[in-house]
Each structure stands twice: as structure tokens, then as C-alpha cells.
Amino acid sequence: VLHFTAEPSRVVAFSVMHNRFPANMNISNRRGMFEAMSKGVAGTEGRLLSESKTELHGLEGREWKFEEESSLTTIRAYLVRHDLYQAICVVPKGQPCPRHTQQFLDSFDLKGGSEQ
């Protein structure tokens, strides 16, 4: 797992993550993989607000928005072969900044092809 986070303040965080699944893991059921991620994305303390399909260079992905006690989190995830890439934005629940969240998520890009 690779995980990079920038925290411009104590209550805001921007992260990117990369997970590689084992080569022998069956990932042919992409919809099922995303559904499983959807169930776990908010954890035990969060409440899922929305889920939508997203696309990046023809790659199918998902975007989830959920809230916890004091924060709003938005995650975009893309499954490329056996690699899972995620862009994550956490902002205070009382002071959401949709513009910065959108700018960060839209800045995420994958280089090196779009094979699924």
C-alpha cells in the first residue's frame, strides 16, 4: 500500500492511495468489487451520502461521499487490472469547500495506459 497525504490544516486532508491485489485474485467481477468497497468505505462511524459512477480515460470508477461526526469525505476509486487507485478528500462537516474538493479530485490522473 502506498499512501500520500497532505494536511493543509488540522481539519483538511488530501490523500492518494495505491493498493495492489495479488495476481491470483479474481477481479473479473468489477461491479462486485465496487459494491464491496462501497459497504466498507464509510467504516463503522460513517454514513454513506452518495455513490456514483465516474470515469477516467475510459476506466470505470466510483465516487463515494460520506459523513462522520465532524467531517465529510469524498473518495474516487479506480480499479486498473490488479491495482486500486484512490483519491480522498476530507473536510470539516461544518465548513465544506466543494470547489477545493472538486479541484483536488479532478487533478487526479493515471499515466501509462487505460487497460482494465
- The predicted-structure confidence for 18-29, as pLDDT tens digits, reads as follows 999 999 988 888
Task: Write the pLDDT tens digit of every residue in 9-54.
Answer: 888 999 999 999 999 988 888 888 888 888 777 776 789 999 999 9
pTM of the model: 0.86
CB 55 within 8 A of CB 29: no
Q: Determine contact, residues 70/92, Cβ cutoff 8 Å.
A: yes
The residue count for the chain: 116
